[in-house]
Amino acid sequence: MKKYFGTDGIRGRVGIAPIMPEFILKLGWAVGRVLKRQKDKSINVIIGKDTRISGYLFESALEAGLSSAGVNIHLLGPMPTPGIAYLTRTFRADVGIVISASHNPFHDNGIKFFTTEGFKLSDELESQIEQELEKELVMVDSAELGKAARIDDAAGRYIEFCKSTFPTAISLQGLKIVLDCANGATYHVAPHVLQELGAEIIDINSNPDGFNINQQCGSTHPDVMRKIVLAEHADLGIALDGDGDRVLMVDHKGNIIDGDQLLYIIAMQAKKDGSFKGGVVGTEMSNLALEQELAKENIPFIRAKVGDRYVMEALKTRGWCFGGESSGHIVCLNMTSTGDGIVSALQVLAAMIKQQKTLYELASQWQKLPQILKNVRCHNPKVLMQAPKVQEELKKLNEKLGNKARALVRASGTEPLIRVMLEGENINELESLTDEFVAMLKQVHEANQ
- Give catalytic residue positions: 102
What is the CA 366 to chain-centroid distance, rounded?
Answer: 25
To the nearest 10°, report the CA torsion of 192, 94, 124, 329.
Answer: 10
End-to-end alpha carbon distance in the chain: 25
Q: Read off the DSSP letter of residue 80.
A: -
What is the edge-to-edge ordering of all strands in the sheet holding 417-424? 371-377, 417-424, 405-411
Q: Read off the DSSP letter of residue 121.
A: P
Among 248, 428, 430, smallest CA distance to 420 is for: 430
**Where are the strands (E) in 255-386, listed by range?**
256-257, 280-283, 301-304, 322-324, 330-332, 371-377
Among 250, 441, 272, 412, smallest CA distance to 345 is for: 250
Q: How far apart (Å, rounded) are the C-alpha atoms in residues 328 and 335?
A: 17
CB 335 within 8 A of CB 267: no
Q: Output the CA torsion sign for 354, 358, 359, 361.
A: negative
Q: How far apart (Å, rounded) are the C-alpha atoms in residues 314 and 237?
A: 30
CB-based burial of residue 47 (10 Å sphere; 0-12 exposed, 13-18 middle, 19+ buried)?
buried
For residue 335, what are the contacts with CB-CB under 8 A and spacing of at least 6? 165, 343, 347
CB 113 within 8 A of CB 96: yes
What is the CA 116 to chain-centroid distance, rounded?
Answer: 19
CB 49 within 8 A of CB 98: yes
- Paired with 373 in beta bridges are 421
Whether a cis peptide bond, with omega within 30° of 0, leads into 416 is no
CB 286 within 8 A of CB 293: no
The DSSP line for 366-427 is S-PPPEEEEEEE-S-HHHHHT-HHHHHHHHHHHHHHTTTEEEEEEE-SSSSEEEEEEEES-H
